[in-house]
């Protein structure tokens, strides 16, 4: 089962990706994880990516696709994979399809976790992150045992700049401009699975699994 998770920042696609990863026993892969692993291992692709990132530049689509394709060739992807946060644009989606075709593979489904913008802004404003270990919480959905304190390392929890309402609005604008066209792209291919992301987490998972089992 080869899956792509779509949805705006804060829609909960990462949470659903983790649950699907456990269900199908396939890896949950984010481009951030791929970048970090390659940079840490100082691979040829990782060194190239770091050279762009160090200059504050976006890593070119071609290099991102090469990094993703290289990751999908690893042994743990033999039963499938879940891509979270990639592709972000139509160019990346087309390049990914070509790379998978060369591997005699394809995307089985693109799962769109659909949440209205106003809900996302409220949801993100409630998120808190640990300044030390990076663990994340939510004032409504995932409270720490002690308010303002990380369960894991006992350090302070803060509202990240990325989660502030004005920043979230800007991120949503970018999403609608660049990433939302992917919904039409995968709809035309007949592989889009759309679910209501405002429901509770287990209900969303059940809805996704129901679509995927058809």
Which of the residues are catalytic?
A: 13, 88, 127, 160, 171
What is the b/e burial string over 160-188, where b = at least 16 CB atoms within 10 angstroms of the residue's CB?
eeebeeeebeebbeebeeebeebbebbee
Question: Distance between CA atoms of 59 and 202, rounded to whole angstroms?
Answer: 35
Please tell me what DSSP assigns to residue 80: -
Tokens 């308010």 correspond to what residue?
A: 147
**DSSP states of 106-158:** ---EEEEEE--HHHHHHHHHTEEEETTT--EEETTTB--SBTTB-TTT--BEE
């Amino acid at each position: 089962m080869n899956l792509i998770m779509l949805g705006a920042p804060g829609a909960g696609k990462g949470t659903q990706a983790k649950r699907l990863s456990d269900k199908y026993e396939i890896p949950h892969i984010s481009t951030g994880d791929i970048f970090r692993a390659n940079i840490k291992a100082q691979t040829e692709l990782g060194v190239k990516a770091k050279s762009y990132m160090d200059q504050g530049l976006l890593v070119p689509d071609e290099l991102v696709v090469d990094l993703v394709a290289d990751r999908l060739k690893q042994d743990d992807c033999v039963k499938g994979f879940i891509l979270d946060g990639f592709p972000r644009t139509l160019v990346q989606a087309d390049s990914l399809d070509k790379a998978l075709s060369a591997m005699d593979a394809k995307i089985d489904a693109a799962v769109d976790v659909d949440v209205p913008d106003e809900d996302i802004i409220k949801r993100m404003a409630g998120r808190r992150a640990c300044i030390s270990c990076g663990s994340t919480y939510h004032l409504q959905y995932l409270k720490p045992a002690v308010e303002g304190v990380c369960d894991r390392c006992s350090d302070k929890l803060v509202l990240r700049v990325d989660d502030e309402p004005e920043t979230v609005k800007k991120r949503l604008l970018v999403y609608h401009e660049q990433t939302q066209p992917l919904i039409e792209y995968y709809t035309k291919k007949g592989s889009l699975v759309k679910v209501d992301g405002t429901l509770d987490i287990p209900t969303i998972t059940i809805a996704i699994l129901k679509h995927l089992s058809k």
